Structure 1
Amino acid sequence: MPTPTKPEIIEALKTVVDPEIHADVYTLGLIYEIKVGDEGIDVLMTLTTPYCPYGNEIVGKVEQVLKKFGTEVRVNLTFEPEWKPSEDTRIALGLSPEDEETIEKRREGK
């Protein structure tokens, strides 16, 4: 199977939806880095908060959709820098200040 291109990987990642926010991980800006090489696909990503109740599910789905390319997949989580939705993302998702307050509370583990 040929090595996937970055655009192909991005399209695959757009099928992984955060069940809480109902938007895909790529559009949300949760994917920080994608590397493709002879050794496989490496993804550096974050979650909306370290306490995301769907974290394992989201990471598992990222791995699952990328393994369909028939190569090794490594997904690494980081919380540096912490995720902050861009202005465009907030508008597209219809996030209100109250929604952002909820995200911030979850980030703090409340």
Structure 2
Amino acid sequence: MDTKGIEQMLSLLRTTAAQASGKTAESSAAESGAPDFAEVLRGSIDKVNETQQSANQMAEKLAAGDTSQNLHEVMIALQTASVSFQEMVQVRNKLVTAYQDMMNMQV
């Protein structure tokens, strides 16, 4: 299981919490070595895209009659791509909800 993305997200959340409590974002980000949120998000989207493209290529090769493609491996790759896409959609939904909650806050 790839925990690098989870660790990066936790680091980002800690940075945001520190910022909300009054600490400067630069000092807490420098202390934790936190990556930029946009970089983490872009990397996750790129990884999902690569997974989907790889699965589609495998399926196309199988449909074309390529004997090097195993049906089981193709089905697993397609299912993995589907689950990763669904996960990305759920993350997007949570981000949109958080954004809407923040916009509805009274200052």
Which has the greater radius of gyration? 2
- Higher relative contact order structure (alpha carbons within 8 Å, sequence separation ≥ 6): 1
Structure (1 or 2) with the greater helix fraction: 2
Q: TM-score, normalised by structure 1?
A: 0.27
> Structure 1 or 2: larger strand share?
1
